[in-house]
Amino acid sequence: MELLTRFTFVSACLFAEWAVTFIAVANCSISPSEMNGDSALKLPSAVIPVSQKSTLGSFYSLSLSSKFPEDLEVNEYCTELLRIYGQRYVTFANCLVTYARPVRVCQNCYTGFNSLEDIYKNISFDKSAPGNVGCHDSLMRSDRLMLLYTLFIKLDEIWTSAECKQCLNEDQDALSNDTLYFMATLNQSLSCFEQYQRNHTELCKDCKTSYKRLNEVYGRMEKNLMLCIDLEDAMNMTQHLWSKNFRCLLPREETVPVIAVSSFMLFLPIIFYLSSFLHSEQKKRKLIHPKRVKSSSSLMNIQDKFS
């Protein structure tokens, strides 16, 4: 009896140990995505053998903030250039977003672009770093992403497509005189629109001169390739106000010859057929006239014979 009791006790202990081991293995095989929040809190943590704790501990202690050897680190001079590049990049990007609509990027953001371009050139070509080593290799070409190069190229493409350089002077540090004159002429037209916006009839009459002068200035600048996105957008909005909102018309001088030539070409077939008809009628008269003369003379001869 005592032997049976001991056997039962030993069997129970072995079953309990086997059950604990099975639960531990099952807990380790369940992925976090398969558990909800409550069950994740209730399940015990995975059991890591003591022999593996030292190895995993050395792995988890490593972080990306750890220092590499000095020959692979970016020196302080290049790090400072990188910081300045980031500040100027953010400043210029914010300026583009701020003046996106209505478009005023060329007249408000050229200073930011020039500053960004200067620091980009310093990073690309500067050789005044310690040891007479530039920052181009360490900042521009040290990885396949080439982030600084890619970021600058994207903004440079925006600046180039906007053709902002055509609205600036030769040094690209101020607006050109032609751009300033166009803006002054534009302001005159807009002031006139604002003055008569409640009376469109008077607006079309009194603002015609200033609006016509604005079109002449714009046409001359377009011919000389002196337009940028700011001026194009401003002119499009002004023309929309004039024609769509105020329903005004401004006949252009070059349309007069076009209308005249078109009218002449339209009536040319009528003139041709009319002249052909008159010419044919005249020929008929010439052919019929001798016959009449001959018949009248023969009639006189018959009368003479009878007399």
pLDDT at 9 over 70: no
- Interatomic CA distance for residues 73 and 131, integer angstroms: 14
3-state secondary structure of 192: helix
Instruction: Identify the burial level of 263 via C-beta atoms within 10 angstroms of its C-beta, where 0-12 means exposed, 13-18 middle and 19 or more buried.
Output: exposed
pLDDT-based confidence at 284, cuts 50/70/90?
low
Contacts of 75 (CB under 8 A, 6+ apart): 129, 130, 138
CA distances to 174, 228, 265 from 170, rounded to whole Å, are 9, 15, 49
- In SS3 terms, 87-154 reads as HHHHHHHHHHHHCCCCCCHHHHHHHHHHHHHHHHHHHHHCCCCHHHCCCHHHHHCCCCCCHHHHHHHH
How high is the pLDDT of residue 174?
97
| pLDDT (tens digit per residue) in 68-91 | 554 456 788 889 999 999 999 999
- Interatomic CA distance for residues 45 and 23, integer angstroms: 11
Residue whose structure tokens are 């009449």: 292
- Interatomic CA distance for residues 100 and 102, integer angstroms: 6
- Interatomic CA distance for residues 35 and 28, integer angstroms: 12
pLDDT-based confidence at 51, cuts 50/70/90?
very low
**% pLDDT > 90, the chain:** 48
Global pTM exceeds 0.75: no
pLDDT at 149 over 70: yes
| pLDDT (tens digit per residue) in 220-247 | 999 999 999 999 999 999 999 999 999 9
3-state secondary structure of 280: helix
How high is the pLDDT of residue 74?
74
Look over the chain and give the mean of its residue pLDDT values, rounded to a whole number.
76
pLDDT-based confidence at 290, cuts 50/70/90?
low
CB 176, CB 226: distance < 8 Å? yes
CA triplet 236, 238, 240: central angle to 5 degrees? Answer: 70
pLDDT at 165 over 80: yes
| pLDDT (tens digit per residue) in 106-119 | 999 999 999 999 99
pLDDT-based confidence at 172, cuts 50/70/90?
very high
Contacts of 229 (CB under 8 A, 6+ apart): 103, 105, 106, 161, 162, 163, 164
pLDDT-based confidence at 204, cuts 50/70/90?
very high
pLDDT-based confidence at 35, cuts 50/70/90?
very low
